[in-house]
Structure 1
Amino acid sequence: MRALLADGPDLIGRVRSLADPMKATPTDKAPGGRSSVSEPPAPIDADLVDALAVLNRLEPWWHVTLSDYSNDREVMTWLGEVVLDRHPEVEGLRDGWSVADAMAKWGTERRTDVFAYPDDEGEGEPEAAPVREWYDPLLTLQQAAKRAKVSQRQMQRWVQKEVVTVVAQHRGPRGSVMKYVHASAVDAAGAGMRSNQQRTQFTR
């Protein structure tokens, strides 16, 4: 329950972006405020509307400390119903919605990233996957240097020369900036370095 509530803000943002209620007004307005009946409003999926009704009720609860309510039977019973209970879809219909249902159906990420697993290269078309970092993790420069078996100074040179691209960064509690790179980019840079070393050995 704690994990689902922690992901709640991202989940509700995801569902709201799918519903896009700003494009589904009762009447589309033509210039000058006149109603246009030639372009009816875009319909919103009923599942999205029903799920949002539940998620909106939970907004004050996304960041609560659950232990504060552990002895409150009424609150915990209600949270269990709207967060954890699953409502299987039967012939396209559900008898209710919960955070767990919405997470299972839509998740918190747009499923548009396309990445080919290394073992699948050359075997058909790559399939869309929800989160690239699940199988191409983000590494700090220190972790990247250890993975490539090079010094941190060498890793910093790769970043400066854009051999490895920094894809994310954030400021730590002491003001230091943490930079992150994809593991696949580190592996490619390491393979390129080893290839160059081998060519140098052969030419001597």
Structure 2
Amino acid sequence: MGRLRSLADPMKATPTDKAPGGRSASVEPPAPVDADLADAMNDIGHTLRDWDRHTDYQLEKSLPDLVNNAEHVRVLAIGFLDRHPLIDGIREFWSVQDAVDKWGVERRTDAFVYPDDDTEEVELQPVREWFDRLLTIQQAAHRAKVSQRQVQRWVEREILPIAAKHRGPRGSVLKYVYSSAVDTAAKEMQRNQQNSRFGTAAEVTT
């Protein structure tokens, strides 16, 4: 669902957008979300909510009990695993598998190089977020063990590039940065601090 929501650009429109009202006649309605995307979000949302309600109701039962019930498995397969082909250009229902086939599980970006845990070799992965998470400014400050203002200064000085922006429900803009970029900026700051200390010590000695 996160993948589908990311495709419905929050800076333009979401499936729940309403036509703008108010006194200003110059405001144009938002661009519509792709019909397939809206249908998929609706169908998969219903599937997840129905399954959550069912499993909450059956808390006394274990997962093996649920999956050994033919009706439960049938409904689970329809919503999660079955592929529903287009008929006359129309898909009667979107399963999770249908959405995965069309849009994938994660946004694909440039290949990200990361060290393999077992060998000294490196591998390439097309899905960067799996190994290089996007962080908010607050999360970046926590990761680098500095203040949020320090992270904001990195951004202002272009030491830390902004990877993505998202407009919140109240109009505030959230900025995201890659974890690897935060680590690089923090190391650069530490290096500069060490050089500054060594330089001051050398001046005092001289």
Question: What TM-score bracket applies, with the shorter chain setting the length?
Answer: 0.5 to 0.7
Q: Distance in 2 between matches of 1:159 and 1:66?
A: 43
Unaligned residue ranges in structure 2 (runs of 5+): 6-35, 58-70, 84-94, 201-206
**Preserved contact between residue 116 and residue 122 of structure 2 (Cα < 8 Å):** no
Report what 1:27 is aligned to.
none
1:66 corresponds in structure 2 to 50
Report the 3-state secondary structure (helix = DSSP H, G, I; strand = E; otherwise coil) of the residue aligned with 2:76: helix
Inter-partner Cα distance in structure 2 for 1:188 and 1:202: 21
Q: Residues 143 and 68 of structure 1: is their aligned pair in 2 closer, same or farther, counting only changes over 3 Å?
A: closer
- Pick closer, same or farther for the CA change 1:112–1:169 going to 2, 3 Å: closer
Contact conserved, 1:138 with 1:181, CA < 8 A, in 2? yes
Distance in 2 (CA, whole Å) between partners of 1:8 and 1:149 is: 30
Higher relative contact order (CA 8 A, sep 6+): 1
DSSP-derived class of the 1:63 partner: helix
Q: Residues 4-153 of structure 1 correspond to what in structure 2 (within 5 A)?
A: 6=1, 59=40, 61-64=43-46, 65-66=49-50, 79-85=75-81, 99-100=96-97, 103=100, 107-109=104-106, 113-118=110-115, 123-124=120-121, 126-129=123-126, 131-153=127-149
Taking only the aligned residue pairs, the percentage that are identical comes to: 47
Superposition RMSD in Å: 4.3
- 1:165 alignment counterpart: 161
Letter in 2 for 1:141: I
**What TM-score, normalized to structure 1?**
0.52
In structure 1, distance between residues paired with 2:148 and 2:165: 17
1:195 aligns with 2:173: no
Q: Deviations over 1:26-82 (max 9, x none)?
A: xxxxxxxxxxxxxxxxxxxxxxxxxxxxx99x84623324269969xxx97764333
Structure 1 residues 126 and 178, CA gap change in structure 2 (3 angstroms)? same
State the one-letter code of the partner of 1:66: D
Counterpart Cα distance in 2 of 1:68 and 1:132: 30
Q: Which amino acid letter does the alignment assign opposite residue 153 of structure 2?
A: R
Q: Aligned partners of 2:116, 2:192: CA distance in 1, in Å? A: 24
CA distance in 1, matches of 2:52, 2:120: 53
What TM-score does the superposition give when structure 2 sets the normalisation length?
0.52
Shift of 1:85: 4.6
CA distance in 2, matches of 1:186, 1:138: 10
1:174 counterpart SS class:
coil
In structure 2, do the counterparts of structure 1 residues 201 and 173 end up closer, same or farther at CA, with 3 Å as the change threshold? same
Q: Which amino acid aligns with 1:117?
A: Y
